[in-house]
Structure 1
Amino acid sequence: MVSINYTRLFNLRMSHSYYDDKRARGLYLRPTRRTLRLLSGANMLFKSIPNGIVILYRAEADEITPVVTLPPDQQFTFVLMADNRAEFQNITQLDVSADDRFSSTSVLHFINDPDDATGDADNPEELVHSLIDDIKNSLFTHSISLDPPPNEILLRITSPDGTTTVPAGQKTDGSSLPDPLPITKGDDDVFRQQIDLRQRPPGLYTFTIRNTDDDSTLKEDRFYIDDDLASQKLLGIVDIKYKNSPNHLYGETEESELVFSRKETVWTYYVVNKNGYVIFDDHDLEISDPGSANYPAVAFNREGDEPHTDIKINGFETVVFKSNVPIPFKDQPKSNLQLLRNPGGTVLVKHLPNPSHSGVVKKQNGQLESEVFVFI
């Protein structure tokens, strides 16, 4: 009987601090068409595992030597999808920095560092995301708006390896366009240039807009060029790379992990005196938080007067409380939050609701806030 051996090439898992057990929910990965062709030609298998994927290669009897040997410099690309994209975006911290914020058109990009490869399943290489501006076909028109617009700009395109520049296309005689490429603004003050990267490999390209003296960057866009992916609504793209030196392709099984962090917001409670349970000349309201194992105690401070002089909900007197610190989103609710009426500490609401994790998150004075409306 002939035995068929498969050995793991790499494991790729996903974690999310929103969940108590850190195991991400509702996310899945699948290979791109190019990667599927690569796997098929190399006698490799793609398998989904709990909370991630594994790639295996067919091996000889020694369970190490591949039956089909690929060159060591390889890239495997996967797309990241979410069952409930809106909810995922709401609970996950997707901003990279104050100047690099996630938007509705952003695409997450993860890439490993072959020099940081590890075979330690308990301490995998952690892959955190950057943000891509868009996914483009290899032939597209790049429209650039600047405020104020100069008469002319220079366009420089950097290849996915980050070390070389590539021309934006070819002239009619077949020669390459200049690098960098001068572009003159149109009558509508927009710069437009057809980009032709059809002879280039798919991947993440950087489009840098410079002034004509080429001594100042005016704008930078990061586009993932891939004809198969451009028409798809993706949450993210994951690139797993191997390189010639050091050669890890058929070495120790590599361990990687996509790491997601939960969002945290200030909780704002609007307590609406709908049924007149509170007489503000005689009573004071208070939110009491004893804390729990999952959530430390948080102070909720009253905002403005009681009732608030400027805020009424549906015409009813309203008292506003805000947490003094942001509270992280978690899959387990923050329990035992009580609304009290003083003097006497009468419990009006024994368990105040938490903000909806699929609801609207607002930004006030640079801070994310979640609102909860409580009618008493």
Structure 2
Amino acid sequence: MIDINFGSLFTIELLHSYYKDQLCPDFSISPSNQTARTLGGHQIIARQYFNQLITEVNSTGKVSPPKPFTAIETGAQFTFFMQLNNPVFFNYTNLSSAAPNKIYYFTNRNNNISNGKTFLSGKIAAYSAANTYAPGDLASNDTGTIYRAIGSSKPGNIFNLTNANHWVAVDKNQYLSETDALQWMPSISVYQLGSPQPSVNISVLGYNSITTTYTQSVFSKTIAFANPASLFTLDLSFLQPGKYSLTVNGTQQWIYINDELNDSKTFAVIDIFHDTAPVSCSLLDGSGALLSPAPHYCIYFLNRATIWKYILASKQSGNINDTANLYHFANPASIITSLTPIPLSNKALNLKLTLNNHDYSPIACADPQRLVTITKGTDTYPCSEIFLNF
């Protein structure tokens, strides 16, 4: 009789602050073709359960601590694709809309540990007075608290994180942002130059496992053209699928190479590595045994904040107030707007409408199905219009 004992290898959890339970049900997660073969060869099962991807490996369960029957080598890579199933997702998520060939890239090599969680997104950068911020942008302070911009700021101004007219604190979770976006490129592509050039200098940097940075030169070449050219064929087919830094004639960009994405509409790629460093990449202990508890990785989406515009059918002036006193409105009016953006959520706020000396509560909250834009001062915001039959 053969004993089969499966132990937990790692778990990936999708969270979203739009949902009242924070659990994000909007994606399907599947392994790449190469990873499917790797999983099979190592007797690893990967299954999605609602908002989690759970992996378990056949192990020596009666030996303490248990080890995988098939050793997982240092440098092992497990790649998964995230397919978006909800067409309204971008309406209630603090991200810009999908762009051609743009994907989000998540990996435990980011070593992003905060608030008791290990995040697969990159770290939110600290606030800098030298940067330009638009409504919706994120920044962190020196204690790790994440702030959302509710007003624009430019280099040299005084609109730092303490300015409540320009920033609002969120929490200490690490949310994905546009800094996690990469340009997907096929391994052989036609590269467009801005103008005809006599030659191109190409440099590609990959991940350096010693420095844990993208500083490892994997390709460098100069191509001279017979005549100035505005495009050329870029052949990177010798590279392993993954993230790279590509520089062409001094212009750098982050790219992702994987020809499995040729015919898919992939929202994001997740790369889980078993490396000796950083600590977030350790799937096993120094003896090759399973960790207890097993690594639990998070991808956290932040809900979009919009200006809420209430339109009263009676065209009479009314007042809307938040009983929790968190959000405020331009009262009284027949078209009442919030003074600041309000995060969208499927957990309703307790708002009260006062009209003709009568109180109506609760009233409808913003629906992510409908978004327009509104200009307040010099900033343009997404706007949620809510029609009230009063």
Shorter-chain TM-score bucket reads: 0.7 to 0.9
Query: Which residues of 2 match residues 170-319 of structure 1 at below 5 A?
Result: 179=221, 181=223, 186=229, 191-210=230-249, 217=250, 219-245=251-277, 248-251=282-285, 252=291, 253-271=294-312, 278=316, 285-292=317-324, 296-301=325-330, 319=334
CA distance in 1, matches of 2:207, 2:262: 17
In the TM superposition, what whole-angstrom CA distance separates every residue of 1:165-214 from its partner, at most 9, and x where no partner exists?
A: 333xxxxxxxxxx535567754xxxx32212122210011222244xxxx
Is the CA contact (8 Å cut-off) linking 2:189 and 2:235 kept in structure 1?
A: yes
> Quick check: 2:320–2:331 contact (8 Å CA) kept in 1?
no
Gaps of 5+ in 2: 122-175, 209-213, 286-290
Task: Report the residue type matching 1:111 in the other structure.
Answer: T
Counterpart contact for 2:185–2:257, Cα < 8 Å:
yes
Q: CA deviation at 1:257?
A: 0.9
Q: Which residue of 2 aligns with 1:282?
A: none
1:323-334 → structure 2 map (5 Å cutoff): 323-334=338-349
Q: Tell me: CA distance 1:133–1:53, structure 2 relative to 1, closer, same or farther (3 Å).
A: closer
How far the C-alpha of 1:269 sits from its partner, in A, is: 3.0
Q: 1:81 to 1:103 in 2, by over 3 A?
A: closer
Is 1:124–2:125 an aligned residue pair?
no
Residue 135 of structure 1 contacts residue 230 of structure 1 at CA under 8 Å; is this kept in 2?
Answer: no
Contact 1:266–1:369 at 8 Å: present in 2 too? yes
Q: Distance in 2 between matches of 1:262 and 1:6?
A: 36
Corresponding residue for residue 53 of structure 2 = 53
Q: Quote how far apart the aligned CAs of 1:81 are.
A: 1.8
Q: Does the Cα contact within 8 Å between 1:107 and 1:132 map onto a contact in 2?
A: yes
Does 1:80 find its partner at 2:119?
no
Aligned residue runs from structure 1 range 12-91, under 5 A: 12-60=12-60, 61-62=62-63, 64-84=66-86, 86-91=87-92
Out of 240-249 and 326-335, give the one that drifted further: 240-249
- Per the normalisation by structure 1, the TM-score is 0.73
3-state SS of paired residue (1:10): strand
Displacement, 1:107?
A: 1.5
Amino acid at match of 2:192: S
Using structure 2 for the length normalisation, give the TM-score: 0.70
Which has the larger Rg?
1
* Percentage of pairs with the same residue: 19
1:82-101 → structure 2 map (5 Å cutoff):
82-84=84-86, 86-94=87-95
How many positions carry a matched residue from both structures? Answer: 313
Over aligned residue pairs, what C-alpha RMSD do you find?
3.1
1:172 maps to which residue?
A: none
Identify if the C-alpha distance between structure 1 residues 337 and 235 changes in structure 2 by more than 3 Å, giving closer, same or farther.
farther
Q: Distance in 2 between matches of 1:194 and 1:223?
A: 16
